[in-house]
Amino acid sequence: MKKSVNRWIILLAAVVTNLSLGAGYAWSVFQAALLEANPEWVQTQTNIAYSISFAMVPIGMIIFGPKVDEQGPKRYVFLGGILFGVGMFLTGFVSSIPMLYITYGLILGLGIGAAYGAATSVAAKWFPDKKGLAGGLTAAGFGLGPIIFAPVVTAMLESMSIYTVFKILGVILIFVIGGASYFMEKAPEAETNPGVSTAEADGKNFKEMLKETKFWILWAVYTLGATGGMMIISSGASIATTYNLGNPVTVVMLVSIANTLGRIIWGSVSDRIGRYPTVIAMFVVVAVGLFLAMSSGTMGAVAGTAGLMMVGLSFGGFLGSFPGITAENWGIKNAGTNYGWMFTAYGVAAVFGPTIGSMILDATGSYNTAFVIVIVMAIIGIALQLLYLRMYKKA
C-alpha cells in the first residue's frame, strides 16, 4: 500500500475529471447554437459528430487501458485532458461538417476515452469494497456535466458566438483536468489489497474475457440499456421542443440531474440487492419513462419531462453499475482494459441512439417511433439479463 495515500482524495480527483469531461454531454445545447450559426446544416448531420465523439470513448479506453493498468492513471488523465481541451478549442474554428467530425468527434472523443477510462479504473481498483458506490460517484461526475455546462454555455451565448464559447471552454478544461491528474495515484496491487477476493485478484485479461459467452450477453445488455439514454441526452433540447415540454435548457438540466443521481442511487442499490436485479429494474424504468414521454400530449408536460428523467436516471445507473459488473466477473487486475472492451457497448449505443432519434424525427416530425423501438429494446434487455441469471446463477 502506498504511503498514507487518501483514496477519497483520489476519488474526488476522478469525479472532477469526469465532471469536466461531462461538458461533452451538453451537446444538445452546443448543437442548437451550431445549427443557428449554420442554417445550411441539419440535425442529422451534426448529431454524427456527437456519435463519433462517444464512439471514440471505448476506443480510447482500449488503446490506453493496458498502460493505465500498468502505470496508473496520472499521465493518462493528463493526456486525455489535453486531447479533450484541444478538441473543444479547435471546434471553435470549424467551418464545415467534416471539420466538426474531426475536432468534436475524433479528437475530443479520444480525450474522453483516455481520461474517463483512467478515472473510472480508479474507482474499481481503489474501492474493491465499494465498487457500486465508487463507480456510481465517478460516473456521476460525467453526468453532472450538462447541469453545470448547459446554463453556463447558454449564458455565454448571450454575449458571444458559439465558436468563442468552444475556444474558452477548451482552454479552461485543459487546466482543470490537468490539475486533477496531479492527485491521481496508482492503486495497490490486487494481491496486496485486503478488500479484494482471490478470484478478483487473479482476474482475466481481455482476450480471455472476449471468449466467454457471458461477456457477450452482458455486452448486449449494456448496449440495449445505453441506447435510449444516448438518444435522450443527445436530443434533449429537440425533444423538449417537439413535445412542448417547456424551456429546452431546463429539460436538459433536469434529465442531467436524473442521470447524475441515477449513477449514485442505482450503484448503491446494486451493492445491496445485486447488480443483475438492479439492471432489470432499470430497464423497466426506461420503458415506463418512454411511455410517459410519448403520452405527454394527453398527460401533460410534467409527465413527459418526468418520463425523460426516468430514462436519464436508468441511463446513469447502467454507467454506474457496469464497471462493477465487469470487475466482479473478470477481476480488477486488468479492470482498465477489460472495461474498455465492455464500454464498446456504450460506443455502439452512442452511434445508434442519436441516429435513430434524428432520422425518425426528420422523417416523421416526432420521436414516437424511436421511443417504441427503445421500449422493445428494454424488453429484450430484460430477457437477456434473465437468461444470464439462469445460465450463471448470479444474484
Q: Which residues contact 160 (CB under 8 A, 6 or more apart)?
A: none
pTM: 0.75
Q: What is the model's pLDDT at position 102? A: 95
**Cβ partners under 8 Å of residue 149, min gap 6:** 22, 23, 25, 26, 29, 169
C-beta of residue 264 within 8 angstroms of C-beta of residue 15: no
Query: Cα(first)–Cα(last) distance of the chain, in Å?
Result: 31
Cell of 310: 426516468
State how far the Cα of 275 lies from the Cα of 232, in Å rounded to an integer. 24
Report the pLDDT value the prediction gives residue 131, as an integer from 0 to 100.
63
Q: How far is CA 223 from the centre of its chain?
A: 12
Give CA separation, 222 vs 197, 256, 300, in Å: 25, 19, 31
Q: How far apart are CA 33 and CA 395, in angstroms?
A: 46
- Tell me which residue of 347, 336, 351, 327 sits closest to 62, measured CA to CA: 336
Query: What confidence score (pLDDT) does residue 363 get?
Result: 85
Give the number of other CB atoms < 10 A from CB of residue 369.
15
pLDDT at position 356, please?
87
Under 8 Å between Cβ of 37 and 131: no
Q: What is the mean pLDDT of each run of 10 residues along the chain (395 residues)?
A: 69 88 82 88 84 85 81 88 95 93 93 87 73 70 77 88 93 93 78 48 80 94 91 82 85 84 79 86 94 85 90 87 84 79 88 86 87 94 94 66
What is the distance between the alpha carbons of residues 7 and 121, in angstroms, rounded to a whole number?
13
Q: What is the pLDDT of residue 199?
A: 46
* Backbone phi and psi for residue 357, each to the nearest 5 degrees, phi listed first: -60, -50
**Which stretches within the chain are classed as H helix?**
7-21, 27-37, 43-71, 74-91, 97-100, 108-126, 131-157, 162-181, 198-202, 206-210, 213-234, 236-242, 248-273, 275-294, 296-299, 301-330, 335-342, 344-364, 368-392
Give the pLDDT score at 257.
85
Cell of 320: 454506474
The pLDDT value given to residue 58: 84
Yes or no: say if 323 and 240 are a contact pair by the CB < 8 Å rule: no
